[in-house]
C-alpha cells in the first residue's frame, strides 16, 4: 500500500495529454499496489504565490522565531513540503511549453526547495533530504524531443531529473506522449505513450 501524490500543471484541462497520461500512470500504480491512497493537486486551480524577497528571507528563520505574519506567508510552502514528504510515489504532469515546464510547476518547485528541510549542505556538497521516493513524470509535447533535432530543446526531462535529484529524488522515470502535433506521429502518440508505461 502506497501513498500517491499526483501533480497536474497543464492549462488544457480535460483535453490535456499530460493529465490523461498521468491518470493512466496512477491507475497502473494502483493496480500494482491495491489499497493505495491518492492525493491530487492541480496547480492551475490554486493561486500559487510566487516567491518574493520577504518570503525567501522567512525560509531561513527558525520556526520558533517566526511571527504570525511570517508563518502565514510560508503557509503554502509548508503545506506542499508536508504533502511531498508524506508521499511514497509522486506522479508529475509536465507538458512541454516553450521548451520548458509550466510556470505553476516551477512555482511549486520553488516552494518545496527549503534549506534544512528538503536539502542541506555537507562537507562534500549538497545533500538531498527527500529520499525513498519514486517519481514518474507524465510529459507531453507537440513535437518529438526524446531524439533527433528537438532533443537539444528539451528542458523538461533533464531539468526535472537534475533538480528533483538535487532534493534526493533520484529514482525518476519519464513517460512521454510526444509528437502530438506531428502528422504521421500524432495518430498513435498517446497509444505509444500508454504502452510504454511500466511500473517498477
CA–centroid distance for 10 within its chain = 12
Whether 9 has a binding-site annotation, put simply, is: no
**Region for residue 47 given its phi and psi (left: phi exceeds 0; alpha: psi -120 to 50; beta: otherwise):** beta
User: Do β-strands 125-128 and 89-95 pair in parallel, antiparallel, or remain unpaired?
Assistant: unpaired
User: Per-residue pLDDT tens for 6-55?
Assistant: 999 999 998 999 999 999 999 999 999 999 999 999 999 998 888 989 89
| Residues of the domain holding 184 | 3-196
Name the nearest CA neighbour of 185 among 158, 147, 128.
Answer: 147
pLDDT in tens, 51-74: 989 899 999 888 889 999 999 999
Q: Which helix (H) or strand (E) holds 39?
A: strand 37-42
Q: Is 62 exposed, middle or buried (0-12, 13-18, 19+ CB in 10 A)?
A: exposed
Q: Which helix (H) or strand (E) holds 181?
A: none
Find out whether 16 is annotated in a ligand binding site: yes
Overall domain count for the chain: 1
| Partners of residue 5 on adjacent β-strands | 39, 90
Q: What is the pLDDT of residues 94-151, one digit of tens each?
A: 999 999 999 999 999 999 999 999 999 999 999 999 999 999 999 999 999 999 999 9
17 is in an annotated binding site: yes
The response to whether 36 counts as a known ligand-binding position is no
Residue 77 sits in a domain whose CATH number is 3.40.50.360
Determine if residue 141 is labeled as part of a ligand binding site: yes
Amino acid at each position: 500500500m502506497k501513498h500517491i501524490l499526483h501533480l497536474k500543471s497543464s492549462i488544457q484541462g480535460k483535453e490535456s495529454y499530460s493529465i490523461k497520461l498521468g491518470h493512466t500512470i496512477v491507475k497502473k500504480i494502483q493496480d500494482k499496489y491495491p489499497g493505495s491512497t491518492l492525493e491530487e493537486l492541480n496547480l492551475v486551480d490554486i493561486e500559487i504565490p510566487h516567491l518574493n524577497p520577504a518570503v525567501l528571507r522567512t525560509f531561513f528563520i527558525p520556526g520558533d522565531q517566526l511571527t504570525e505574519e511570517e508563518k502565514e506567508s510560508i503557509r503554502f510552502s509548508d503545506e506542499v513540503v508536508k504533502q511531498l514528504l508524506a508521499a511514497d510515489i509522486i506522479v508529475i504532469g509536465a507538458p512541454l511549453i516553450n521548451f520548458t515546464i509550466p510556470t505553476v510547476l516551477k512555482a511549486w518547485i520553488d516552494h518545496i526547495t527549503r534549506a534544512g528541510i528538503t536539502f542541506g549542505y555537507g562537507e562534500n556538497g549538497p545533500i538531498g533530504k527527500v529520499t525513498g521516493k519514486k517519481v514518474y513524470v507524465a510529459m507531453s509535447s507537440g513535437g518529438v524531443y526524446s531524439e533527433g533535432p528537438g532533443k537539444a530543446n528539451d528542458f523538461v526531462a533533464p531539468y526535472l531529473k537534475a533538480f528533483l535529484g538535487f532534493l534526493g529524488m533520484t529514482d525518476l522515470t519519464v513517460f512521454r506522449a510526444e509528437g502530438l502535433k506531428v502528422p504521421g506521429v500524432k495518430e498513435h502518440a498517446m497509444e505509444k505513450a500508454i504502452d510504454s508505461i511500466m511500473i517498477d
